[in-house]
Structures are given as structure tokens and as C-alpha cells.
Structure 1
Amino acid sequence: MRIGTATVNQTPLDWKGNTHNIIEAIREAKQNNVELLCLPELCITGYGCEDLFLSNWLYERALEELLKIIPECKGLLVAIGLPIKFQKQNYNCACLINNAEIVGFYAKQNMALDGVHYEPRWFIPWQSGRISQLKINGSDYEIGDITYDYKNWKIGFEICEDAWRQDRPACRLVERGVNLILNPSASHFAFGKTEDRQKLIINSSIDFKCTYVYSNLLGNEAGRMIYDGEMMIAQNGRHIQRNSLLSFKNTNFLYADVEPDKILHTRNDIAKSNKNEEFAQAASLALFDYLRKSRSKGFTLSLSGGADSSTIAILVSEMVRRGIQELGLEEFKKKSGLELQTSSKSIDTSSKEICSQLLSCAYQGTKNSSTDTLNSAKELADEIGAKFYHWTIDEEVGSYTSKIEKALGRKLSWETDDIALQNIQARSRSPIIWMMANIKNNLLLTTSNRSEGDVGYATMDGDTSGSISPIAAVDKYFIIHWLKWAEKELGYSSLRHVNSLAPSAELRPLEQTQTDEADLMPYHIIVEIERLAIREHNSPIEVYTKLKAKELESADLLKAHIAKFYRLWSRNQWKRERIAPSFHLDDFNVDPRTWCRFPILSKGFEEELEELNKVS
């Protein structure tokens, strides 16, 4: 049988667009003489509908769209994901259609409730082995733990989370003689996650003596989550087909001719992921989808010449370059929804021309800014083609400062008012860059990273101010090394400037030679503490015990850094609550609206840190 799998880039409430993408995938499958096609989880509505899944009308509309799609399935067996309301309960289902007739609905048995997922808030898990009758337009259809006999195949389902449980549906499907398992998924992107998926699918095909078909959603669907559009067909330990990930296209499709119960004597190697390349791919696709789905006209960025803002500028450049490379120049311009003008058909020249229309950068200097960062910002903007503006904000800072001095009746000084004098510079930049973004109808890109989120090393309404925060889910240590990789592997020669500078906020007088790591601690130490304290939920003493064995630094300094991390983490939760929407990129993040919740008010590990001081 020729088996196909397709991925689609969907958007919540885009009924016309979502249905169009699904029909396009079905038509492509028919053109390639596919007999069976597996589409992703909840692809009719989109996975990211959030509390819209608590409504009634959404289910009614999803069913209406399904009925529009069914006639397109003539001569084809198709699995399509959608939510179903049954007996006043909400279920996450896959509808199986054969030759434009509904066969039945498989209902997901396990809900994802970890990290970024909150499925039990919206859906009820279906009981294993149970089958009921669902009435649609006067006809009864099976719903529940269904299987289906088709020619020499017995077909069963797992939907995404179902497959990641130890006691999974496949354990029972193999006992029922199922030899073909379909897995429609909405599995969010994270660095290296594809390797885990590949192992899961290959091992599933071995453990359950079956052909296993996997289809994941694609793109930045609803703002934060990115889906990589991974598709796989595996049989008895071998990948028969697997696609390239993170496509800019609305639909992607692959197929394979598969015989039931064929014995394959060799196994595939797992395709290794490259974190640097994955970051460039995922973030650039996420920016493109966010731009077009928000119906914005471009991006505005306060380009300081430092690591964070330089990273974001490169990601926008890569968004354009990669998009044109895959879609072609005219299709990229059309899909953006903007009236973009180009004079050249070469990728390099047209990328720079489009970047000049999509990205506006401003270097907002003060007397504490260096010529090194100005040159870094200007050369980078010139290399990628972004519009570049340069102004100073000393007048605004002086105005705010003089008003406070008059109110307090004293002069402010760096000895007594250090934090306030730093913050007012960052905050003074915000209104003017917002004004530019508003005038241009642009998204304002904020430049805070995850390490800064950990310890609150960011100015609220300053460098955290904006529409979207593309790098808030990645740590500064990674960013520093990624820029060196981007200079060498992506060919951005202007990055030699930022790659030669020590990261600095440049908010204190130049003679004080301010650096981020002197203010905080070495970034590689933050990464180690963060992983144990936040990702793995360890106490201060547990973190110390585990890191002491690694001999990263002296025991006394390590204690001091751990204590500083926990104190700063605890007192800065209110800042993390106000992080601009950010992409989920790593296996965890510190955004309380997705992955990590922490009380705004707490005792701040006071007793635990006292105990840490006593440990040798």
C-alpha cells in the first residue's frame, strides 16, 4: 500500500486557511496515488486554541469544516485531527475517513500535562477499550478506541502523548493484531527533540511489529509554540521515509510503498541534530509566521551592538534568506502579505533588499556607550541590509534625572544611586523605539535572554519592552557561542566585532569597564545552576553537592554564586511574569505562562541558603 503523511501550518480560528491546507495535502496525496494519508493532531482547529476548547461553538464549527473536507477524500483513506464534543465532554480525536465516508473517531487516551502542555484543562482522556456511538446528521459512527481492517492491514491509533507513556495504547493494539499504527501529533519543537522522536518511532515499529506512521504540525501556530513538521514512516526498525524539518511551506507531504509485516534486517541510524542550525531554522520560521499571522509590516529593533540584539538581527536576516531559498522570491513576497519590492533575483541581493523593508534598527547611545558597540551595530545592519538609525538619549536621561533630583533635593550619584541611574538609561530608550515601531506598524523585538530572566538582569520597560521576545528561551552562554558559529558557518563577517567584545550593558561610566559577568557571575556557571535548580527542581544544597563534584570553581565561590542565583531568582519572579511572548526553543524555559511557575512572593530560600553556608 502506498502510505502518505502530511504536515500543515495552521492558525487558530483560520477556518478557511486551515481547511485549504488540509485539502491541498489530500489532493497532493491523490495525485501521487496514495491510498492512506495521516494528517496531524487537531489540524482542523489548530492545537493552540487554548480556552476556546472550553466552548461549544468551536466543536460545532470544527465538525462543519470536517464535513467540507470529507468529499475531497474520494478514493482515499484519511486520518484528520479535530476536537469532538460527545455526551457534553470534550475529546481530542482523529477522524478516519474511507472513500469520502466516515469510518469512526479515535479518541486520545492520555493527556499531556508537563512543561508547556495543559491538555487536561480542555480534554477528557478516553478509556482504553471503550467504544461508543456518536450521532452526526442522523447517522451513527463509532467513537473511542477504534481499529479498522483495510485490505491486509489492521489499523490502530495513538495520538501524540499516547505514544510517550509506558502503558500506551500500542501495548494493547499489538494484542489485537494491529500492524499499522497512525500517530497524528502536535509535538512542540525543542532542541534535539527530533532524536527522541526518531527513537520512539523506530522502537515502536520493532516493539509492536508494525508499520508506524507519524505526522506532526508545522510552524509557529499561535505565538509561542513552534512545530517542526516532522513526518516519519517506519517499519520493523527502519525509517522508510523521513522529511527535512521546519519548512516555510504551508503543506509538506511524503509517501512510501509498504508491504504489511515485511521483515527488514537492518536498522537506520538516528539523524543527529545540530543545536546551532536548529536555532537558526526554528527561530527564523517562528519570526516569519509571527510576522504574517499578526499582520504586521515588519520588525523594529534597538540594536546595541551587543550579543543579544545582534543575534536577533541575524535571525531576521536568516528568516528572509531561508524563506526565499525554500519558497522562491515571489512566493516569499506573496506569503508575507506585504508589498515588498526587489530589483534583483539573486538570493543575496534580494534578501538585503527585503531586509531593508522588514527590519529597522536603531543604536540609541549615551555618554556611557562605546564606539566599539556603535561600529558593531552599524556594520551588522549594513551587512544584512537593515535600515539603520543612530541617535543619543542623554538629553532624555538628563531630563528625567534632573526632575528626580529637584524632587528629592539632592544630586544623584553612582555611589548611592547606581541601579536607578542604570535603569533610567534603558527605560529612556523604550518610548522612542516604541514610537518608531508604532509609526511603521512593526513588531518591537525585545532582547532579553533566559539567563537574564533567571536573575532579573533586565530593566522592566527597558530592554524587556516590546511585542515579542525571540531569544527569551535560550541562555546567554549559548548565544555567545552561537554568534561565533554564525560568523563562521553562516558567513556574517560583521559579527567579528560583537564576538570580540565582553558582554556589557554599557550603563555605567566607561571608566568602570562594566561587564555582565562581573555584575552577575560567569555565564557558564549560571547555565549549570539553572539546569539543576530550575529544570530539575533541586534545592541549593543539592545543586552545590552536584556542582562541587564537577570542580567548576572553588567551593566558596560556587556557594556564593548559588546563593546569589537563588536570591535573584526569588525576588525577580514579577519580572518573568511580564516577559513579552517568547518562542519555546529549549527543553524548558522560565516563562510562567508556559513552563515554569513560581510564587511572586516567597521567603526566597532563606533557610535553605543558611543551611548551604554550613555545608563543607
Structure 2
Amino acid sequence: MTTTRPSSLVTVAACNLNQWALDFDGNVQRILESCRVAKENSASYRLGPELEICGYGCEDHFLECDTFDHCWESLIELLEMGATDGLMCDFGMPVLHCGVRYNCRVICRDRKLLLIRPKTALADNGNYREGRYFAAYSAPTHASSGIVERHLLPSTFLSKFGQRDVPFGLHHLHCADGTTVGCESCEELWTPRSSHVDLALRGVEIIGNGSGSHHELRKLYTRMELMISATRKCGGVYLYSNQRGCDGGRAYYDGCAMIVVNGRIVAQAPQFDVRDVNVVVATVDLDDVRSYRASNPSFGIQAARLASEERGGGGCGNGGLACDDVRLVWDPADAASFPNRNNWPKMTDECLSLKIVTPEEECCLGPACWLWDYLRRSGAAGFFLPLSGGADSSSVAAIVAVMCILVTKASREDPEGDVARECRRVCRKDEGNSLWVPSTPGEMANHVLHTTFMGTENSSGVTNSRAKRLADAIGSYHMSIKIDLMVKAALQVFQISTGHMPRFASRGGTMAEDLALQNIQARLRMVTAYLMAQLLPWVRGRAGFLLVLGSANVDEGLRGYMTKYDCSSADLNPIGAISKGDLKRMLVFLSKEYPGFDVLAEIANAPPTAELRPIDAATATAEAGHSQTDEEDMGMSYEELGHFGRLRKMYRCGPVSMFRKLVVTWSHLAPSEVAAKVKRFFYYYSVNRHKMTTITPAYHAEAYSPDDNRFDLRQFLYNTRWTRQFARIDDIVAQQPDSDNNKDKND
């Protein structure tokens, strides 16, 4: 019997998985679910995220033998449970090979290991420390001779599956139907000489990239461009699977699994989602890959040259392994297995309407999903937030509101699903067989978000009103209290102890007295926040505890414009690596996106103020509600802080090189003014750097985050005079004094 169906069709699947570091049982269940969905959609190849079996963020647990043992146990479970039956699975896990730890891809099919492929380029910048845990693999010298290195499997594999060892190294797979499959891992896509180039030149048609790529504002577009460029130059089917969620640290892995064919994205999973498993599937015609490559003369020349070099003994060992019993394309004899044509990519310029969210959406969606993971996995009953009515704390409240919107929507769509079950547990509604789900996001917010305006005699009615209106719009359990009694009690203890009573500068005191009076208010708010977090569930007749949310943005952390151990000290900070400018744009976006959130636009447009000094009626504005403003206190604008932060971290500038760049960028200012601004920044950055050593674990979002704990590894004890550096800046200014033109501009 003949058929007109082409025999070069193959259905492939890529997935987002919300894995949790060291949650081996939970990770196995999520992997199994992804395999089930892939099979349900007739896929014959399934790609998973990097280190999915143990979770990417195990960190120093990768130094423990237990972690490797548990990974092999999980892999055995997956094989026994049939995850790989009829499905080629590319799993991510660590492997100890010849006494060396490697970050590996493990490719299996029908309960047999086909290949262990170690990672060749490790991520060691920013949030990543892979070189601390793993070695980058390079092919051994004997590889060019055709000898295949093999890894001895745990003895259980021989007794259970009849397999003693497996090929180990930089190989790809030749299936019986002519399909060729290879892989690379995360960082290898970003390197100058990426693995996929050599794989493509060797004729590999399907390339999988299992990744653990964290979310950073505006990063997704770069990631997409790398994959589009890779397949546009080389042709091929490129699958990208990513970890998604908070697996135990500050980073949020933002999913967005993709399938790319010949420079076009044909399938895309959500970037942000509260569901634990997303699988995207596409049926592709490998003949399209073959003809695309054959039509490119330069590709053919380079592929032929590589083949000639390897025949001459110059190969690096990245050869093909024959898999005679593995077929991936659809067998014409089995009509029932013909995949749904809805999975076929339409190979046109409009093949897929890509979803790339705006930075404003990223600012709320990423931290919202991060908070949901942390809330449901921590066992907490909700959050407590000191809500001042300013942009920062209001941003945090809005992010929790978005979390409630996402969870409520998912729960109502599937009341028996995992998200709904977690929602009932967090809201303490999981007794009996109830299928309760919140009727509105506000109902959920009333269960999980507790907000309090902690005012003093220095607070304005304007910010109190904004806090109350925002809490009402969100639905949080809200209170407005005064903490003046606590402030007076602390000052009386000081007066009894020392015989002195400090005064604000506006009332004749010194700056030291003024700062002490401001700081005691801020620190007592932190004490009050933790008291409320422990006891508000009890007050409401509920069990559990609340996580305290902080609200210091990345620019304030960079400048050190915060009181140590004030409301910046908390259990979690969703905005700790987001700039003030991005937060304000997010608030305006949310005010338009969600009905009833109009007050957010008002908050975004109000001048930021700490409200820790007495109000000067002569200088207070209606918009700020207070005479004290943050930018005046800091001596620099938030926009300037953004410039300083990016140049310091992303462009690796010290004081002198930063001055050289800014004197050009800020050409409207005289060189001496630029010099003064740079010196002021570095003075306050260094004198306040110690604050970053105690910073609240913050959601990572910005590439110039000053987080000392994991991201920004600089010392905290500095010579704050920067004697050599500032002297060099002065020398440069003296050589190019302020021109008359510059002076005119500033008059």
C-alpha cells in the first residue's frame, strides 16, 4: 500500500519545567508529566532544561556525592515509569566521570541510555558559578582515532536494563531512519564558537539546547536573536528548553521554550506562568532543513572542508553514533501515528505571532511568579508589606496583586489542577474535598497580603490616602497605624542613658542628630513589620506566619540611600534589582491595564519622599505631600544613578573611566560638574557598600544589581577618598578646563 505522506516528518517537543533544587521526587513527577504531554502530541523527541533532574540551583550541593547518587536514582525511576518508551528524551543532570564532575545531557530512548554529552563551556559570570562545581569538557587526544570514550553506569542499570556502559563525549546520534540529533547546553549558545555550528556542518538536523537561563529585563529578545541567527546561518531544527521559576535563590528562570526552524520560530511556550509544566510541540519536515542547507553554497563549502579535515585525522571526536534501533520520523506504514497537522509549522514570514512582553510587563510578571513559588514552597500563610504610599512599596503591592491575578485565573480555569490545589493550601482552604477557588483576585489578596501604613508625626495625609486607596483596590488586609509612641520611648531611653536629646537640623540639631532621628523611625518600622508578620494571622484567627516583603529598589541599593535594618530589611525583596524608572513605568502600565488601579499612576508621578523629617509647610508640594524628597537628599537623580550603575557593573568602569565616558555623554555639563557627580557617586557607593552585605534576598532583574551576596562580588571596605582615582580625574579636568561654551549652557 502506498501513501502520499512524506517520510521526513518528525514531531519534536520542548518544555519549561518549574524544577526545585534537591526536590528529586517532585522533579521526577514534573519530568514525567512533560513526557506524557509530549507523547500525547505524538512527539518522538523531547528536550528538557539544564540539570532538570536535580534542579539548576543546587550550588554547593553539587560538591556532595549524594546529589549525584540521587540523580541516578531519579533517572532509573524515569526509565522504569516508561518516560522514554517510544520517546527519545534529552535529560539534564550532573555526572561524575573519571573522578571529574560534569554538567551533562543524558539522551535515552526505550529504557536505554544512548549518549552522555558533557558541557564544554561553563557560565561563570553574574549569577553563575558553574566553574566552582563542574569542569568544562574537552575531547581526549585519542578521539580523532575513532575510539569512543565510555562511562561505566551504576550497577543497577545492568540488573534492571541490561546496560553496563554508555558512550560519553562530544558525539551526535544517527538514527536508523536517517535523522541526526545533537545537543548543546545553555552557555554554548552564547560562546563565540558555538557547538551548534560544528554540529550543523556535520549534518546534524535536530539540535537541542537544555538551558537554565535566568530572567533579566530585556534579555529574552537577545536569546531569541541568537537562536534565530544560528539557524538562519546554518539551517536546522533548534529546540530550546528552559528552567522556569524560583528553584531556591534570587534568580527567576523565565521559561519561553522554543522551536526554531531555518531562522523562524515555529513554537513558543509562555515566558511567565504559574503552571509547573509547559510543553510546546511542532511537526517539522527535515527535507526543508536539507534543501535549505543545500541551497547555501558557502555552507556546503565549509561542511565539505570539515569532512575533509576529519578524514585526514584532524577531527576533534564530535562524531556520529549509530542508533540502528531508533527511528524518529513517521513510518508511512503506521497511518494511525500520523501527527495532527495543526502541529505543522507554516514556513512563512508570519509563521508565529511571537510574544515578547514589554519591560513594564516583565517588571511585574517575573517577580509575581517568583513570589508565588516562594510563597507556596515556604509554607507561609501570606505576605506582610509596610505600605507607605510611595512608588517602591506600592510597586511591591502591585506585584503581589498581579500574582493573585495569575493564580486566580489559573485556579478558576482548572479547579482540580495543581495551581488550584496550591492556592487552596496557601489560603488555608484545603480542608475536606472542597474545590474552593477565589472568585476574584481581590479575594485571594485578602487571604495572602497584609499591608500597614506606619505613620509618624512626620508623615503626610497624602501618602496615607494613597496607601489606603491602593490597598482597597488590591483587596489586601490593611491597617493604618502610628508608631510615634515607639519612637518617643526609644528616645527617652537614650535621654535617660546619656542626658541628651537629639534634634532635627531644622530645629537646631547637627546632621548626626538629624540622621539618627530619621533612622530610628525607619528601624522601628522594621521591628513593627516583623511583629505584625508573626501575629496578624493569629489576630485573624488563622494559622501560620507571614513573609515580610522589602521595597528598596536597585538604585537606592547602589547609592546606599537606605537605613540599614529598616524596611529594606525583610525576608524577600521583589524589586531589589529593578530601577526606579522601570518601576514608575510599570505602575503607569498597571494603572491602564487593570480597572480600579488608577491610583498607581498618581503614585508614579509623585516625587519620592522618605517622610522622616518634619514637614516644612513653605516647601511642601501637593504632589509629594512633604518637603523632603529623595533626590535632593541623595544629591543625584535616579536617572543619574542608572547611568552610574550600568557603567560600574555592565561596562566595568572605575572612577576615571566612568568620568571619561560621562564627560562625553553629558556634554551639556562642564567637565568639573561631571567630575563632581562621579566623585559624589563613588564616595557614597563605597561608604555605604557595607549595607549590601546584609541586603534582603532580592529578585534579580537588572544587570547592574549591587547585590553583594551572589551577583556583585566587590569588597565592602574601601578607601572612600579614592585618592589615586580622584586625583587622576582632577588631572584630566585641569587639562581640559570648563569651556566658555559649557559655562554658557549651564547659566
Counterpart for residue 341 of structure 2: none
Question: Alpha-carbon deviations, 1:569-596, whole Å to 9, x = none?
Answer: 1111210111111111123411122221
Please state if 1:501 is matched with 2:606: yes
Listed as ranges, the gaps of 5+ residues in structure 1 are none
Counterpart for residue 110 of structure 1: 121
2:18–2:276 contact (8 Å) kept in structure 1: yes
Alpha-carbon distance in 1 for matches of 2:52, 2:709: 23
1:286–1:583 contact (8 Å) kept in structure 2: yes
Instruction: Output the amino acid matched with 1:350.
Output: T
Q: Could you tell me how far 1:203 is from its partner in structure 2?
A: 1.5
2:649–2:703 contact (8 Å) kept in structure 1: no
Instruction: Output the amino acid matched with 1:464.
Output: S
Instruction: Output the amino acid matched with 1:582.
Output: A
Counterpart for residue 660 of structure 2: 545
Listed as ranges, the gaps of 5+ residues in structure 2 are 1-9, 159-163, 293-346, 538-544, 620-626, 738-747
Counterpart for residue 532 of structure 1: 647
Please state if 1:455 is matched with 2:559: yes
Task: Indicate the larger mover: 443-452 or 486-495.
Answer: 486-495
Counterpart for residue 355 of structure 1: 445
1:301–1:360 contact (8 Å) kept in structure 2: yes
Alignment of 1:395-544 (within 5 A): 395-414=485-504, 415-416=509-510, 417-439=513-535, 440=537, 441-491=545-595, 492-511=597-616, 513-520=627-634, 521-544=636-659
1:333–1:340 contact (8 Å) kept in structure 2: no
Alpha-carbon distance in 1 for matches of 2:578, 2:254: 18
Alpha-carbon distance in 1 for matches of 2:348, 2:727: 57
Alignment of 1:592-603 (within 5 A): 592-603=708-719
Q: Could you tell me how far 1:248 is from its partner in structure 2?
A: 1.0
1:554 counterpart (665, 669, 681): 669
Alignment of 1:60-99 (within 5 A): 60-70=69-79, 71-99=82-110
Q: Could you tell me how far 1:177 is from its partner in structure 2?
A: 2.2
Across the two proteins, how many residue pairs are aligned to each other?
615
Alpha-carbon distance in 2 for matches of 1:2, 1:577: 49
Flag the 1:261–1:193 CA change in 2: closer, same or farther, 3 A.
farther
Counterpart for residue 2 of structure 1: 11
Alpha-carbon distance in 2 for matches of 1:500, 1:110: 46
1:206–1:237 contact (8 Å) kept in structure 2: yes
Question: Alpha-carbon deviations, 1:173-220, whole Å to 9, x = none?
Answer: 234321211111111111121111111111111333321111111111
Question: Alpha-carbon deviations, 1:476-501, whole Å to 9, x = none?
Answer: 12222322222223341122442342
Alpha-carbon distance in 1 for matches of 2:422, 2:456: 40
Instruction: Output the amino acid matched with 2:584.
Output: I
1:250 counterpart (276, 288, 293): 276
Counterpart for residue 30 of structure 2: 21
Please state if 1:207 is matched with 2:294: no
Question: Alpha-carbon deviations, 1:496-542, whole Å to 9, x = none?
Answer: 44234210000011117110010111111111122112321212232
2:384–2:451 contact (8 Å) kept in structure 1: yes
Instruction: Output the amino acid matched with 2:129.
Output: Y
Alignment of 1:47-446 (within 5 A): 47-70=56-79, 71-128=82-139, 131-136=148-153, 137=155, 138=158, 139-150=164-175, 151-262=177-288, 263=291, 272-328=356-412, 330=415, 331=417, 332-336=419-423, 337-340=425-428, 350-414=440-504, 415-416=509-510, 417-439=513-535, 440=537, 441-446=545-550
Instruction: Output the amino acid matched with 1:242.
Output: Q
Instruction: Output the amino acid matched with 2:609.
Output: S
Instruction: Output the amino acid matched with 1:528.
Output: H
Alpha-carbon distance in 1 for matches of 2:723, 2:591: 44
Alpha-carbon distance in 2 for matches of 1:444, 1:545: 42
Alpha-carbon distance in 2 for matches of 1:517, 1:317: 28
Alpha-carbon distance in 1 for matches of 2:497, 2:724: 40
Please state if 1:581 is matched with 2:697: yes
Alpha-carbon distance in 2 for matches of 1:571, 1:587: 22
State percent identity of aligned pairs: 29
Alignment of 1:27-46 (within 5 A): 27-46=36-55
Q: Could you tell me how far 1:545 is from its partner in structure 2?
A: 2.9
Question: Alpha-carbon deviations, 1:74-120, whole Å to 9, x = none?
Answer: 11111111111111211111111112211121111111011111001
* SS of the residue 2:121 aligns to: coil
2:364–2:586 contact (8 Å) kept in structure 1: no
Alpha-carbon distance in 1 for matches of 2:503, 2:252: 46
* SS of the residue 1:213 aligns to: strand
2:114–2:167 contact (8 Å) kept in structure 1: yes
Instruction: Output the amino acid matched with 2:78.
Output: I
1:378–1:388 contact (8 Å) kept in structure 2: yes
Alpha-carbon distance in 1 for matches of 2:435, 2:25: 34
Flag the 1:533–1:122 CA change in 2: closer, same or farther, 3 A.
same
Q: Could you tell me how far 1:64 is from its partner in structure 2?
A: 0.5
* SS of the residue 2:209 aligns to: strand
* SS of the residue 1:92 aligns to: strand
Flag the 1:481–1:560 CA change in 2: closer, same or farther, 3 A.
farther
Instruction: Output the amino acid matched with 2:688.
Output: N
Considering only aligned residues, what root-mean-square deviation do their CA atoms show, in Å? 2.1
Q: Could you tell me how far 1:603 is from its partner in structure 2?
A: 1.5
* SS of the residue 2:496 aligns to: helix
- TM-score, length basis structure 1: 0.96
Flag the 1:437–1:552 CA change in 2: closer, same or farther, 3 A.
farther
1:8–1:21 contact (8 Å) kept in structure 2: yes
Question: Alpha-carbon deviations, 1:463-486, whole Å to 9, x = none?
Answer: 222101111101112222322222
* SS of the residue 2:440 aligns to: helix
Instruction: Output the amino acid matched with 2:385.
Output: L
Alpha-carbon distance in 2 for matches of 1:275, 1:283: 12
Instruction: Output the amino acid matched with 1:372.
Output: V
Instruction: Output the amino acid matched with 1:162.
Output: E
Q: Could you tell me how far 1:57 is from its partner in structure 2?
A: 1.1
Greater Rg over alpha carbons, structure: 2
Alpha-carbon distance in 2 for matches of 1:593, 1:394: 34
Task: Indicate the larger mover: 604-613 or 296-305.
Answer: 604-613
2:381–2:427 contact (8 Å) kept in structure 1: no
* SS of the residue 1:354 aligns to: helix
* SS of the residue 2:702 aligns to: coil
- TM-score, length basis structure 2: 0.79
Question: Alpha-carbon deviations, 1:21-50, whole Å to 9, x = none?
Answer: 000110111111111111111101000001
Please state if 1:608 is matched with 2:725: yes
Q: Could you tell me how far 1:171 is from its partner in structure 2?
A: 3.0
Task: Indicate the larger mover: 292-301 or 221-230.
Answer: 221-230
1:341–1:353 contact (8 Å) kept in structure 2: no
Alpha-carbon distance in 2 for matches of 1:459, 1:490: 33
Q: Could you tell me how far 1:365 is from its partner in structure 2?
A: 0.4
2:185–2:210 contact (8 Å) kept in structure 1: yes
Instruction: Output the amino acid matched with 1:427.
Output: R
Instruction: Output the amino acid matched with 2:60.
Output: D
1:308–1:447 contact (8 Å) kept in structure 2: yes
* SS of the residue 1:158 aligns to: strand
Q: Could you tell me how far 1:272 is from its partner in structure 2?
A: 4.5
Flag the 1:431–1:183 CA change in 2: closer, same or farther, 3 A.
same
Q: Could you tell me how far 1:167 is from its partner in structure 2?
A: 1.9
